[in-house]
Structure 1
Amino acid sequence: MPPRTPAQNARLALLLEVAGTPKPGNVDRHRDLPDLRFDHFLAGTVGTERGLEMAAEGAAVGTAFERAVKGMAAQGGGNTQFGALLLLTPLVRAAREELAQPVVESVVEETTVADAANFYRAFEHVDVFVADPPEDMAPLDVRRGGDAVPTLEERGLTLLDVMDRSVPGDDVAREWVTGFERSFAAAQRLTDVDGTPLERAAAVFLSLLAERPDTLVAKRHGEDVARDVTEHAAELHDANALEADPDAVETFADELVERGVNPGTTADVTAAGLFIALEHGDLEV
């Protein structure tokens, strides 16, 4: 059987991430949100195909990302994997050479103003929840989409510059400026735990949630709620996520869904870790 391509492994990572259960607060194969369902994620993953293939073929990161988001958005649920694609696109691009942190760092350091412009245009395809920027940053509000491009060009901001300006409030952006450290750590954790790939995905999600407050939760519900969610996850994860009381984790998952608390950034990092583990041959599917 021929090996999967990096683009195929990226799509598989998206599928494994959403199918893993329980993932407290997030859509999984047992849970839907009121306006966002499991099937939306499956359809979104199918739509990413061309954009991820473009990244694997060596296209510019911004161009490939914008195309992947456009395809992802062609389903009825809205934003399913925007943040995950922002991590996966440079990782797939790096896999052309070697999927190692120094190579990924080089990929993001080589991004251009044109990449930043395509990143902004991607917001025209789907509604992404973002916090209001400071007043002095209003001209660069991502919700302006292509209308912000002249300001990007005037200031000479690359996509890495845009990500750097988004830290510390966005942990997807933080991955870009820290060498994707949590993504690679998640990949290692996937190899260190036992179970099926879906069980491992859910276990690593819980471990990441227990480690650091989710920035999407913080944006939507405040830092106190994000901190409380992490503390609860840490209580469940103390020994080993796969050995935690399954009923307690299920209850926590249902509780967060009922409250509308969705740790989406943690899911994005989990998807990136799954891709790295698949590419390295450390996760067999």
Structure 2
Amino acid sequence: MSPSHDRTNPPDSSRTPAANAELALLLEVAGTPKPGNVDRRRDFPDLRFEHFLAGAVGARPGLERAERGEAIGATFERAVEGMAAQRGGNTQFGSLLLLVPLVAATRAERELDHQTARSTVEATTVEDSVGFYRAFDHVDVFVDDPPADLEPLDARRGKDAIPALEERGITLYDVMDASVPGDDVAREWVTGFERSFETADRLAALDPARSATDRVASVFLSLLAERPDTLIEKRHGETVAADVTDHATDLLESGGLETVPDRVDAFAADLVDRGVNPGTTADITAAGLFIALDRGGFDL
């Protein structure tokens, strides 16, 4: 392992993996403008910037448990419970579903990579599924209706679904695998966190002379232009999601934040006004930030 990835001496910092995950959540929400999302200049009527700050801090104890190697399901539940201890409700559920296993994967004595992340999630158990389902008892999360034969496994049932999980022997990896392709957070689990690592590379490639929050916003726009956001698809349909992606692509081809910042800002305001929230894109941005911070590829 190269010295630059020695966990006892992280690049230019003494931050632990849990601290990097918390920082990733804070940087993600501070990036501005992030079309359709809460950022430091835009709030939703019942969900504000400070709720995300409190959610990130509240999640820290769960992230620290993941860093210590405790079970992923239980640490995820603890992170969500802490996140939800503010008046806004669900701020970073999807982000934590990516960050908890990534933090757990950093315990390996080698650079965090696709294979390390993949093997971490593939090793999850039925008990991890139990922790995941219990997390739904702490916060409201938007999910699709399951097929009729999977109704006993509806995540919205929370702990009431546990007997069915245990009877069928369903691991947390199985739960994520069954959620693809309609959920890009789940897709990250079964692809070795493909887009999360690509996001980290994009962040690392940007000029560090630009502000960190400006770099976050630029990468967010590139992700939004890359493929339709699955949260938008669930809430508003495929046509709206495709239109948002097309608009982001047009802005990116026009130069994005560096060339047409006013147009990007207007797009951000419009999506917030319409209640169109690319939350999955924000989740992947947070995961990419964590990987970039862990690798020392995102200077502050």
- Partners in 2 of 1:222 and 1:160 — Cα distance? 26
Q: Which SS does the other structure have where 1:209 is aligned?
A: helix
Where in structure 2 are the equivalents of 1:263-274 lying within 5 Å? 263-274=278-289
- What's the CA shift for 1:49? 1.1
The equivalent of 1:253 in structure 2 is 268
Q: CA RMSD for the aligned pairs?
A: 1.0
- What's the CA shift for 1:240? 4.4
* Residue type of the alignment partner of 2:250: E
Where in structure 2 are the equivalents of 1:46-125 lying within 5 Å? 46-97=57-108, 98-125=111-138
Q: Which runs of 5+ in 2 are unaligned?
A: 1-11
Where in structure 2 are the equivalents of 1:132-143 lying within 5 Å? 132-143=145-156
Q: Which piece of structure 1 moves more, 232-241 or 201-210? A: 232-241
The equivalent of 2:14 in structure 1 is 3
The equivalent of 2:25 in structure 1 is 14
The equivalent of 1:187 in structure 2 is 200
For the 8 Å contact 1:204–1:241, the answer to whether it is kept is no
- Partners in 1 of 2:211 and 2:249 — Cα distance? 22
The equivalent of 2:296 in structure 1 is 281
The equivalent of 2:51 in structure 1 is 40
For the 8 Å contact 2:254–2:260, the answer to whether it is kept is no
Percent identity over the alignment is 68
- Partners in 2 of 1:189 and 1:239 — Cα distance? 18
- What's the CA shift for 1:138? 0.7
* Residue type of the alignment partner of 1:197: A
1:173 equivalent to 2:186? Answer yes
- What's the CA shift for 1:2? 5.2
- Partners in 2 of 1:254 and 1:198 — Cα distance? 18
Q: Aligned residues, how many? A: 285
Q: Which runs of 5+ in 1 are unaligned?
A: none
For the 8 Å contact 2:256–2:264, the answer to whether it is kept is no
For the 8 Å contact 2:95–2:286, the answer to whether it is kept is yes
The 1:186–1:2 alpha-carbon spacing in structure 2 relative to 1, beyond 3 Å, is closer
Detail structure 1 runs of 4+ shifted over 6 Å in the superposition. Answer: none
- Partners in 1 of 2:32 and 2:240 — Cα distance? 22
Q: Which SS does the other structure have where 2:287 is aligned?
A: helix
* Residue type of the alignment partner of 1:166: S
The equivalent of 2:171 in structure 1 is 158
- What's the CA shift for 1:132? 1.1
